[in-house]
Structure 1
Amino acid sequence: MDMRDWMVLQTLYKEKNITKAAQHLYISQPALTNRLQQLEKEFGVQIVNRGRRGVQFTPQGEYLARCANEMLLTIQKIKENVLNMEQNAAGTLRLGVYNFFTDYKLPNLLKLFKEQYPNIEFKVTTGYSSHIAHLIYNQDVHIGFVKGDYSWKDQKRLLFEETICIASKEKIDIHDLPSLPRIDYHTDALLKTSVDKWWSENFIQPPLVSIEVDKADTCKKMVVNGLGYAILPSMILNDVDDVYKIVLKTKGGQPIIRKTWMLYHEDSLKLNIVKSFVDFIENLDIENDI
């Protein structure tokens, strides 16, 4: 088996569909099917069952798919170690980044870094902070950017802090919130827990959710257009001037703070590309310079 075979297994296991897997791999469906048949012949087992709902992996296929992930990660690390033998930072830096950071901070950050290290490329995976924390824990990425306090015992750096705000087009009284239309959006579990806890400490009635959207940025636009209030991290509201804001506070009167962290493994600093990026971040004021 070569690297391409492992990629076929990994991609097909993820997509569970031969058409989608072939498109992702930029090969034809017959070519993928033929490669799969050759693998089944090589191992002497049936790897998948084909049906109307796509492909289902057999127990042997499940095992090979897990091996594919391990083998591709090993090959990637071998390439990184070979490139690391040179003095210059070169290769592909794997980053895991939570959604807000991807939209508002990452493009300019990578631009500035690329100006200093033109031989470094990037592979960026985005998602909720909980997903990014899982990726960095399993070393699927070199560096993770997450929002919120996760259990992490290796290296981390605090990048910036922000408050959580009630945002409304018009001035509102916080005591009237249960009777006002609220706009909710999909967010990570830590933020949802913090907001739900604050609500339960201040109100008996549940919120009157009138609109649910998928992203915080869409939610902000709904607020700007006067469709209701929302509870949002303060940084997403920095580019909006005509919105009334109330900072959420604890029972003790302290603002509820959300922290953004950079997480990485100490061992990964042995790679020039990782150390160069960490040093770059250390000398940058992300909150104000990006």
Structure 2
Amino acid sequence: MDEKDIEIFRSLIQTGNITKSSEKLYTTQSSLTKRIQKMEEELGCQLFIRTKRGVLPTPAAEKILPDFNHIQETLDRIRNYTQSAEGTIAGSLHLGVSVNYARYRLPAVLKHYMEKYPAVDVDVRTDQSTNLYRKLSNNELNIAIVRGEFRWDEGAYLLSEEPVCLVVSRENAHTPLNELPSIQRHSDPAFEESARLWRVEQHIEKSHSSLHINDISTCLAMVKSGIGWAILPEICLDGFDGVRTPLVLQDGTRITRKTYVLYKHDYYELPQVKLFIDEIRKDAEQHFSPMP
């Protein structure tokens, strides 16, 4: 059993799917399956249960996962230290990024970082912030860029704070909101509660014709087409030619959306991690100013 086997094992735990893991690791499904079978023979136990929907880890696999994670982290750390001693910024960077930030802000920062440090193996995973927070806590990520507030006792830096806005098309600018369908999207509980409180204060009734959309781009496209109105963070409104109104509660509290970079202090000691955090902080300082 070698490092490649550990990588395959961890990937299957994450994806639950042989096809997805083989594509991610640039290997064939048959080769991946053979290596798992060989691991099971060496360890003397079944690691995965094959089902029609994918693979499920057995209790034995779940029990050894933390040890495999620790082995992989140790190997990565050894490589990172030896490469740094040679004066090369290399190693791996496991980065988790919220979907909206990845779509609207990350590409320029990542491009600049990869041009400066081409030897770093960058692994980017996009997901909902709550899932990224959990993965960071479980040492599956070096860095997590999350939207919203999370209790975190280690490294944290506020990248930006933006207004949350009511958005409608120009054709619907003067139409009472109760006469239009609301276009809603799933978000974290704190965001949804703030939006709910604002609707209550504005006496906006729950519409029977409301639409529930998962993708923020689809939600915005429906607003642009004049279907209805939505509550969206400003990060996704570049180029929007409709009407946007920042939300303010009756007590004067502005509803905003914050973006943080979170990391563990141990990982910050790795040069490639520290340099990426420095890069993203520099970008934030250049493009975002604190809200008054």
**TM range, normalised to the smaller chain?**
0.7 to 0.9
Give the whole-Å Cα distance in 2 for the aligned partners of 1:48 and 1:238. 46
Give the whole-Å Cα distance in 2 for the aligned partners of 1:20 and 1:279. 33
More divergent stretch after superposition (146-155 vs 27-36): 27-36
Q: Is the CA contact 1:94–1:141 (under 8 Å) kept in the aligned structure 2?
A: yes
Give RMSD over aligned pairs.
2.7
Aligned: 1:8 with 2:8: yes
> How far does residue 118 in structure 1 lie from its aligned partner after superposition?
3.9
Q: Which residue of 1 aligns with 2:107?
A: 107
Distance 1:247 1:265, change over 3 A: same
Aligned: 1:278 with 2:277: yes
Distance 1:111 1:21, change over 3 A: closer
- What is the number of residues matched between the two proteins? 287
Distance 1:228 1:51, change over 3 A: closer
Q: Is the CA contact 1:160–1:259 (under 8 Å) kept in the aligned structure 2?
A: yes
Give the whole-Å Cα distance in 1 for the aligned partners of 2:288 and 2:262. 20
More divergent stretch after superposition (130-139 vs 231-240): 130-139
Deviations 1:164-184 (A, max 9, x none): 11100135469x333321111
Q: Is the CA contact 2:146–2:259 (under 8 Å) kept in the aligned structure 1?
A: yes
Give the whole-Å Cα distance in 2 for the aligned partners of 1:136 and 1:65. 15
Distance 1:63 1:259, change over 3 A: same
Deviations 1:232-263 (A, max 9, x none): 0123113212x112221112123212111222
Q: Is the CA contact 1:96–1:124 (under 8 Å) kept in the aligned structure 2?
A: yes
Q: Which residue of 1 aligns with 2:40?
A: 40
More divergent stretch after superposition (106-115 vs 41-50): 41-50
Deviations 1:53-102 (A, max 9, x none): 54444322332344433333332233223223334432332221111111
The one-letter amino acid paired with 1:274 is V
Q: Which residue of 2 aligns with 1:264?
A: 263
Distance 1:248 1:76, change over 3 A: same
Distance 1:49 1:231, change over 3 A: closer
Q: What SS is found at the alignment partner of 1:181?
A: coil
Q: Which residue of 2 aligns with 1:128?
A: 128
More divergent stretch after superposition (266-275 vs 145-154): 266-275
The one-letter amino acid paired with 1:74 is T
Q: Which runs of 5+ in 2 are unaligned?
A: none
Give the whole-Å Cα distance in 2 for the aligned partners of 1:92 and 1:249. 43
Deviations 1:102-158 (A, max 9, x none): 111111112223344344342111111222222333332222211212112222222
Alignment of 1:247-262 (within 5 A): 247-262=246-261
Aligned: 1:244 with 2:214: no
Deviations 1:175-221 (A, max 9, x none): x3333211112333332232123223443732445322221122111
Question: Please, what TM-score do these two structures have when normalized by structure 1?
Answer: 0.85
More divergent stretch after superposition (141-150 vs 216-225): 141-150
Q: Is the CA contact 1:88–1:272 (under 8 Å) kept in the aligned structure 2?
A: no
Distance 1:32 1:118, change over 3 A: closer
Aligned: 1:210 with 2:210: yes
Give the whole-Å Cα distance in 2 for the aligned partners of 1:117 and 1:35. 33
Q: What SS is found at the alignment partner of 2:182?
A: strand
Give the whole-Å Cα distance in 2 for the aligned partners of 1:83 and 1:178. 61
The one-letter amino acid paired with 1:39 is M
